[in-house]
Amino acid sequence: MDAHVLKRAVAKEAIKRVETHQGNDIILGIGTGSTAECFIAELPKLRDRIKTTVSSSERSSALLLELGFEVQDLNAVDRVDVYVDGADEATQDGFLIKGGGAALTREKIAAAKANKFICIADISKRVAQLGGFPLPVEIIPMARSAVARQLVALGGRPEWRENVVTDNGNWILDVHDMHIERPEEMESSINDIPGVVCNGLFALAPADCILLATPDEIIEID
């Protein structure tokens, strides 16, 4: 089945999950990427339930504004009821790699503030072990070479994602050949490197619920 069809299916399921939230004043957080954009496309169904939104990227903010939704800075809201975002890899334990769209830092901040983090993806993103997808690491530009050497010491093969600047004005190193057996430890180790802003492992604070679309059904990992 076409991947876009699966993304639309899981986005519709996420809409149903958000609908179960009590009240008509939902503050909704929305992530970045093709699956998140499928979710945004379904949001008009919940227009009367959503008080405001926050977004992890300028692109998602623009799409929300086009649909007539208010988008607020995260600092302007006292809570995020639900945060919905995609993933590049997901394990049965609920650990994720995110950041293929270079919005990992804002995604991690928004997810951390949310009362519930729902991750949506198609079944191709489910893996037994993280690391097949290159791990994105957002870095301060002046630290690129120094951080890269430390990532090599951790067993990876970092590549600078040239011509990409994050919404925060930083650069991305994509770390290949990482066989991540202990995601929580690896997330902490990378974050401790001077010059690292954030890395794309979501292990210390994983998703509360992962929805994966197959051709036949939606699988839930929680």
Map out the domains of the chain with their CATH numbers. Answer: 3-126+204-221 (3.40.50.1360), 135-200 (3.30.70.260)
Q: Which of 107, 138, 184, 220 is catalytic?
A: 107
What is residue 21's predicted lDDT score, i.e. its pLDDT?
A: 86
Beta strands in 114-208 (DSSP E): 114-122, 135-139, 157-160, 171-176, 196-199, 201-202
b (16+ CB within 10 A) / e for 200-216: bbbbeebbbbbbbbeee
Closest among 95, 174, 87, 104 to 130, alpha carbons compared: 95
What is residue 1's predicted lDDT score, i.e. its pLDDT?
A: 67
Q: What does pTM read for this prediction?
A: 0.94
* Residue 38 neighbours by CB under 8 Å, 6+ apart: 4, 7, 8, 10, 11
Please list the ranges in the chain whose pLDDT falls under 50: none
89-148 pLDDT, tens digit each: 999 999 999 999 999 999 999 999 999 999 999 999 999 999 999 999 999 999 999 999
- Asked if 185 is an active-site residue, the reply is no
What is residue 149's predicted lDDT score, i.e. its pLDDT?
A: 98
